[in-house]
Structure 1
Amino acid sequence: MGYCLGYALIEGGDAAFSMDASAVTFGPGALAEVGAEATSLGLRRVALFTDARIGKLPPVDEARRSLERAGIDVVVYDEVHIEPTDRSFVEAARFAAEGRFDGYVSVGGGSVIDTCKAALLYATYPADFDAYVNRPIGEGREVPGPLPPHVACPTTTGTGAECTGIAVFDDTRRKAKTGIASRRLRPTRALVDPSATRTMPRSVVAASGFDVVSHALESYTARPFSTRPRASAANQRPMSQGANPWSDMGCKSALDLAGRYLLRAVADAEDEEALEAMAWAATLAGIAFGNAGVHLPHAMSYAVSGLCRSFTMPGYPEGEPLVPHGVSVVVNAPSVFRALAKTNPSRHLEAAAMLGAETRGAGPEDAGEVLATHLSGMMRAAGVPNGLAGVGYGEADVEALAAGTIVQARLVANAPCGVDEEGLRALFRGAFTYW
């Protein structure tokens, strides 16, 4: 047995890992550079993606003016769905195909950025919708070739979508959340301007912030890259390759920042230091999980979101049931980490300490409880719903939730140990309430 930067190499396992990331510009004022970035990419006609609410706020106007000053023809698409669906992806792709754009800019949260990814994919390589959707729900077809430039400009401090090749949506036909994943979908440039996040309501800060925490926790505790079978060719290594030395760096920094600044950002939307720290944490965690992949809390979240019947979150649009993505993830997380910490107690204790938990005197057998208790305490302090019961689920929903999760093969396979439907039912039952 050999080692690669502390990771044990096993017979037949992969001995190498990949490091992919968008080119990132970070800092106050970065959004004003979008015109220069588009010019450097040779763009002349650009689709500017946003949603109706964000479209009325200063960041979109600033981006549009920057592009126009650079002499670029700009057409705004502001019909992005708050939580994208297969239908909204198709509508966005139709707009992209008809517009004959040579590049794309997205200004908004993960829903906006993901919709832009899907739209430019289907406009460039038209296909039946299921063609590129993850298996086993879709065909999982590879993206045939290069995609047009995409400059992503996030306005939330959470999803990290500006650094990933993943586009997530609600499959309305199957009542499940799933996605499209390809390295080619990763935006060409990411302009992360913390000042563009000042318009977030408290509930959005909380939901997006816990998405950051979950990205980092899941990537840090995912199956090691070295346990995955060696790829037959370099370009066949999966994007979600498992925990690795590159992703570990981003996870650790993101957890430390979230532990110090998340609750501050939730408490005071004018706390510029906290918002800037969380924007950087989101970027770091996005780069990390874009290379390592997440696992069960996210896999379970797809069912939680897809089966939602009546819950609505304050601060989000009313009129339709909606469990915000970050909330749908974190309501599962304490249960998962409590149960799976035994796979690598030291990593779970380290993660708890980075989030600010007291770990002195804690042994391997305490790792799951320490991390789960600290995480649920952060959730309670931030006003996040109390587990699955807090978003409207009960015992009668366990079967459907487990069935909606097991099909998320890419995520389930990235867990640190094998999990079947019976195991998922137990994890869901452990996630009903935490306090």
Structure 2
Amino acid sequence: MSSRKRIFNLLRTINIASCQCPAHSHRGNVQVLNSTPLKDYAFEIKCSTIRYGLGVTREVGMDLVNLGAKNVCVMTDQNVVSLSPMKAVLDSLVKNGINYSVYDNVRVEPTDTSFKHAIDFAKQGMFDSYVAVGGGSVMDTCKAANLFACDPEAEFLDYVNLPIGKGKPVTVPLKPMIAIPTTSGTGSETTGMSIFDYEEIKAKTGISHTALRPLLALIDPLHTLSVPQTVANYSGFDIFCHALESFTAIPYNERSPAPENPALRPVYQGSNPISDVWARFCLQCLNKYFARSVYNADDLEARSTMHLAATMAGVGIGNAGVHICHGLAYPIAGNVKNFVPKDYGTEPIVPHGLAVVLTAPSVFRFTAASDPDKHLEAASILGADILGKKREDAGKVLSDTILMFMDRMKIENGLSAIGYTTQDIPQLVRGALPQHRLLKIAPVPQSEEDLSKILEDSLTLY
């Protein structure tokens, strides 16, 4: 104690003796204003605990024992329920004596109706923990089921994002949730997002709060070996847009308003030095491994790296946010007509990764003026030669780079290839406008005319 007192006295003496001229008089006596600034001045990084490794799924039963779980809800979908990832999970639960019930009716690209079915199951089961085994649809459904089972008196729209829902903050304690992703795309295993198609407006919306984050994400690359080629392809473009959008989002210290209380700081905060690290990592992985992972299903190195990239992109977007590509993707998916992609069943659907990337070339031509250097850097990481390129060329350079990837991966030739025409654009714009959480994270504001132009330019790409 005496040594600590001497140190404090010494620091106090140094501070008093320091030069008090205007140039140096702030040393040791920083004043913090009590008033809330107009723009934010801080960011924070929150994500699930991540455990990565080949075969790590075998540990889920032990994790549940460690949590003291007595009654577990395992959620999955009809595609995954009969595959090896689900078998590995149930084997681990049985081996460790865990009592569980399976809900396997999760809808791929869930709706408010499918969410409500899962919520009813969760309420009836009185579960003390949850395990989600599948892609983003399963994890998002499981998050919603957990939330509403823990707040059974809540109305469905209470927690849904403004302006569609009430956007209430989550204050009830949720049950522990473990996420085991089987696809490499959404990054939902690390985020507090739960996205669904709201059928009334034919557009996606969701629930956004850090409380929804899984307690633990088990990232097991072995599960990716059973993912069909088309699913791997579209999922990869979800990573692609996550990285590009979070990297080019409005800087965190340009976003407004600043929260009056740190607990009110939104999940999507804008680009920041830490999210940028993950975005760069993901773009590097995409450049080296994306095509390999899609066209060589048994390439364990490529699929393992893409699986890790999906999680790292989730950490990035889960704190920085995504913007226009995702904002437009929600009505693109919600207004699907007759498009039925291979490996996705028989019902019309626009898979999420496809919906986000179809407008990406046009989006990044539009946003490039906000930060040409970052747009050029992103293109360079993805393999473009930017030597001699001017800053005013940044939008075209990045757009051409995205188109090169889309062509290499045989992505459909624009919105017209999935059934949309010029006449559909007003409806798509109307579906995008309520996506405040996304569009406000874009580095430049957009008018209805801007969004219409982006969609028009995306009708045909090649």
* Same topology, TM > 0.5: yes
The offset of 1:11, in angstroms, is: 6.6
The offset of 1:286, in angstroms, is: 0.3
The offset of 1:144, in angstroms, is: 2.1
Deviations, residues 279-310 of structure 1 (Å, cap 9, x unaligned): 11101100000000100000000010001111
Distance 1:378 1:38 in 2: 41
Corresponding residue for 1:376?
403
Corresponding residue for 2:313?
285
Match of 1:153 among 180, 183, 186: 180
Corresponding residue for 2:117?
91
Match of 1:342 among 349, 364, 369: 369
For 1:336, the aligned partner's letter is V
Distance 1:122 1:44 in 2: 20
Deviations, residues 213-253 of structure 1 (Å, cap 9, x unaligned): 10010000000000123211111111100001111111110
The offset of 1:349, in angstroms, is: 0.7
Match of 1:321 among 348, 357, 365: 348
Decide which moves more: 88-97 or 348-357.
348-357
Corresponding residue for 1:39?
65
Distance 1:76 1:177 in 2: 26
Does 2:70 match 1:70? Answer: no
Corresponding residue for 2:240?
213
For 2:319, the aligned partner's letter is N
Q: Is the 8 A contact 2:150 2:173 kept in 1?
A: no
Does 2:461 match 1:403? Answer: no
Deviations, residues 93-113 of structure 1 (Å, cap 9, x unaligned): 000010111000001000011
Does 2:337 match 1:309? Answer: yes
The offset of 1:388, in angstroms, is: 1.0
Does 2:455 match 1:428? Answer: yes
Does 2:297 match 1:269? Answer: yes
Does 2:52 match 1:23? Answer: no
Does 2:372 match 1:351? Answer: no
- % identical equivalent positions: 45
The offset of 1:71, in angstroms, is: 1.4
Distance 1:99 1:44 in 2: 12
Match of 2:258 among 230, 242, 247: 230
Distance 2:226 2:440 in 1: 37
For 1:375, the aligned partner's letter is I
Does 2:39 match 1:13? Answer: yes
Q: Is the 8 A contact 2:238 2:357 kept in 1?
A: yes
Distance 1:182 1:124 in 2: 15
The offset of 1:142, in angstroms, is: 1.3
RMSD: 1.1
Distance 2:348 2:204 in 1: 14
Deviations, residues 47-75 of structure 1 (Å, cap 9, x unaligned): 00000110000110110110121111011
Corresponding residue for 1:249?
277
The offset of 1:163, in angstroms, is: 0.5
Unaligned stretches of 5+ residues in structure 1 = 1-9
The offset of 1:365, in angstroms, is: 1.1
Decide which moves more: 49-58 or 12-21.
12-21
For 1:355, the aligned partner's letter is L
Secondary structure of the 1:50 match is strand
Q: Is the 8 A contact 2:330 2:431 kept in 1?
A: yes
Distance 2:405 2:254 in 1: 32
Corresponding residue for 2:139?
113
For 2:148, the aligned partner's letter is Y
Deviations, residues 353-377 of structure 1 (Å, cap 9, x unaligned): 1111221211111111111111111
Corresponding residue for 2:159?
132
Distance 1:376 1:217 in 2: 14
Q: Which runs of 4+ in 1 moved over 6 A?
A: none
TM-score (norm 2): 0.91
Corresponding residue for 2:6?
none
Q: Is the 8 A contact 1:264 1:271 kept in 2?
A: yes
TM-score (norm 1): 0.96
Q: Is the 8 A contact 2:209 2:267 kept in 1?
A: yes
Corresponding residue for 1:6?
none
The offset of 1:141, in angstroms, is: 1.3
Distance 1:70 1:44 in 2: 11
Distance 1:290 1:142 in 2: 17
The offset of 1:145, in angstroms, is: 2.1
Secondary structure of the 2:298 match is coil
Match of 1:49 among 63, 71, 75: 75
Distance 1:238 1:46 in 2: 30
Secondary structure of the 2:419 match is coil
Q: Is the 8 A contact 2:201 2:431 kept in 1?
A: no
The offset of 1:339, in angstroms, is: 1.4
Unaligned stretches of 5+ residues in structure 2 = 1-35
For 2:290, the aligned partner's letter is L
Corresponding residue for 1:4?
none
Q: How many residues align?
A: 425
Corresponding residue for 1:7?
none
